[in-house]
Every structure is written in structure tokens, then in C-alpha cells.
């Protein structure tokens, strides 16, 4: 199956928009977002390695990572 010609351009545009969305976030919001992303990736990977559902693992890991990231104190 051949990839459409616009796929690399669309991927670059999505990446640029998603990165620029973090510009006006507070440090707490940034910690919550990065914690959720790391938790989702880790949860999906762990679930896939153990034979579970990657979607359920990502949801649980993402929720936990978001909560922990939001609750951790910032650097002073």
C-alpha cells in the first residue's frame, strides 16, 4: 500500500501545531500533559508486552501520569 503524497506534509503540520499548543501553558499544565503522554506510552507498551489491551493500558497509564504530573510540585 502506497502512502499518499501529502502524508509527510500533514504529519509535519500536525507536529508543529501540537508543539505550539504548549507555548501558553503553565508549568503545572505542562507537567500534567507530559506526565499523561509518558504514562500513556508506558501503559500501552507494558500492556502490549504482557498480552493485554494496549488501549486499556494507554488509558490507565495516561490517567495516572496526568494525575501525578499535575500533583507534583514545581521546581523552586
The string of pLDDT tens digits covering residues 44-66 is 999 999 999 889 999 999 999 99
The CA-based angle 61-58-23, given to 5 degrees, is 80
Task: Compute CA 33 distance to the chain's CA centroid, rounded to the nearest angstrom.
Answer: 7
Q: How confident is the model at residue 4 (pLDDT cuts 50, 70, 90)?
A: low
Reading phi first (left if > 0) and then psi (alpha if -120 to 50, else beta), residue 48 is in alpha
d(CA 75, CA 58): 28
Chain centroid to CA 56: 15
Instruction: Average the pLDDT over each of 1-5, 37-41, 51-55, 71-75 and give the range with the smallest value.
Output: 1-5
pLDDT of residue 3: 59
Q: Does the structure show a pLDDT above 90 at 25?
A: no
Do 4 and 42 contact (CB within 8 A), yes or no? no
pTM score: 0.68
pLDDT above 90 (res 68): yes
Amino acid at each position: 500500500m502506497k502512502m499518499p503524497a501529502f502524508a509527510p506534509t500533514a504529519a509535519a503540520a500536525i507536529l508543529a501545531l501540537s508543539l505550539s499548543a504548549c507555548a501558553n501553558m503553565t508549568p503545572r499544565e505542562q507537567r500534567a500533559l507530559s506526565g499523561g503522554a509518558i504514562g500513556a506510552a508506558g501503559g500501552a507498551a507494558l500492556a502490549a508486552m504482557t498480552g493485554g489491551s494496549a488501549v486499556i493500558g494507554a488509558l490507565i497509564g495516561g490517567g495516572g501520569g496526568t494525575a501525578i504530573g499535575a500533583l507534583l510540585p514545581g521546581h523552586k
